[in-house]
Structure formats: C-alpha cells, structure tokens
Amino acid sequence: MTPPEVASACINACQVAADACSGCGRRLDDIAAWSGAGSGERIGILLQAARRLADGAPRPWPRRVRDGIGNELLLAGPPQRIVSLVPSQTELLFDLGAGERVVGVTKFCVRPDAARAGRRRVGGTKTPDIARIRALAPDLVLANREENRAQDVAAIATFAPVYVTEANSVAQALAMTRAVGFALGAEAAAARLAADIEAAFGELPRLDGLRCAYLIWRRPWMVAGGGSFIDDVLRRLGLANVFADRPRYPEVTAADLAAAAPDVVLLSSEPYPFKPAHAQELADVLPQARMLPVDGEMFCWPGSRLLAAAGYFRELLPRLAGSAGVQ
C-alpha cells in the first residue's frame, strides 16, 4: 500500500514520507538495512539527506505522519507542548533540539539532566497519571509499544495525538530517529544523528564466535531473547545469543542457563540492578563462564544514546574474552 504523500525531502533514491518512501512504498528501516548497498552507500544517502534538509526551504505544515505501529497523525504545526513517556525518547527529544518544547516526562526520564528541570512528572512508564497529562494540554505525546501499556496509550489518545514508536533493531532505531525528527520539524538534526550512529556502528570491531547470555532480571531469571533490540545489538557485536531461539524476554531456570553453556554472561544495570553477589550466584551455576556487569542503557535505549553506545562497545569488546569468573 502506498503511504500518504507528506512533505519531506528528496534524497535522490526516494521521496521520504515520515517513515516510508512515497515512491516505492518501502519503510525506511528496510532501506537502512538494504543488503544491496554497502554501509558507506547508506551513510552517504543519510548524509545527503541531512545536507538537503539543512539547505532547503522549511517543509510545509500540516504534516501527516505514521508512527511505528502504523497509526496516522495529522500535525497542524511543529509540536510545542510535548509529553514523553519513554526515558530514551526524552533524551532523543533534547538531542534533536526540542527540549524546550517538552512539558512532561516520567519519573524515570533522567537524561539529560535538564529533563528534570521545570517539567511536570507524569508518573512512570507503566503507571502514567492520565489526568496530569491531560492537564498539560500536550499537542504530542511520545510513547513506545514495549515500554507503555496499550490501555494507557488509548486513554491518552482520546485527548492528544500519541506517536508510538517501536524499535527491535538498530536499523529500526535509525528509522525511528528520522521519523520522530520529521514529526518535530527537526529533520536535519535527525538525519545527521542517524548518519553519525550508522557510521559509528559501521566502524565497530566484531567478536565473532563468543557465546553470550544477557540477563535482565532475577527471581525469576530473565534474559534477552530473539527478536529483541538487545539481541540485535549483540549480533552486531558478533556475539552469539544462546537464547536467540526464544522470543523477546523469556524466563529461564538455572538448569536452562547451565544447559545453554554461555562463554560470557552480561549482567545489565537495568531494569534489574545486578550486584556482585548475584554474579557469584550465577558463577556457581556456570563455572566456565565469565560474568561481566554492563550498562543497560547502552544495550537497550534505541535513540540518541546509541551514539555513546558505540564508543562504550568499542571499550567493552576486549573485556568480554578472558578467564571465567566474576569480573
């Protein structure tokens, strides 16, 4: 189905319409992952888009945009009163130059530091205060399919436009960045950011062959499985996720962990704050594995945090291979 034609920029290869091409109908995450083009060619296309957006005339409004789950929104002008229900997207808003337009954030929106200053707290990602959000009279609310509950999104949509993102891979995160930038009227900044992230990840070394388990929770143990954003990041680093055959974020037992026999176990700092005692608990089950704490934001924030993540991964990779035990 041909997406609706909306104002955006031509990057020679296609007419970009929010998150899709109005010429060929392909989604931008598909174009970003196009196997027929090398990483250098994709970077060139994104940089060319940034130049055209920076040099061109302002794009007309209103704009019809399509979010990550296919909903269409008609925005009369650049949103001026934005509520963010996702910490990673709050950071993205500021990095796209829209921080002054953010009027409401969750209690978990801690980056950047300015996000806490002068903005109304609207509850948590899973427990938003709908009445408080309504009182802020937002003209755009940013939510995420995985982070926020569908019933809360539906309730907010009765009085404000809600843009729901979804990113299960780095390629989708780049498409999301460009699409959110378009919805904000910040196309140039978004195109530059996406190009910088693409370039940074393209330069990362790979650690092929190392078997890895990425833990996100305890009691019960939970891991990152196949189809998750974390799984895609692991694959980009060359790591073989031993639970890639299980979808999303499955529960596992100590016996499952022992049977999977990972070479390295990554203990995320979020959503569960693993401590050294937990690492030792796992080491008793997996004496052959290397236990390593990692910064969860770098692995699971699909936005501008990915630019910092690339530098973090460059330093982390040499530490993954080594002797077994708690590090």
Report the candidate in 47, 312, 28 with the shortest Cα–Cα distance to residue 172.
28
- Partners of 226 in the β-ladder: 247
pLDDT in tens for each of the 327 residues of the chain?
333 333 333 344 444 444 555 444 455 555 555 555 555 655 665 555 555 555 554 567 888 888 888 888 999 999 999 999 999 999 999 999 999 999 999 999 999 989 988 899 999 999 999 999 999 999 999 999 999 999 999 999 999 999 999 999 998 999 899 889 989 999 888 888 988 998 899 889 888 889 999 999 999 999 999 999 999 999 999 999 999 999 999 999 999 999 999 999 999 998 899 988 998 899 888 999 999 999 999 999 999 999 999 999 999 998 887 666 566
Q: Is the peptide bond before 287 cis (omega within 30 degrees of 0)?
A: no
Three-class DSSP category at 279: helix
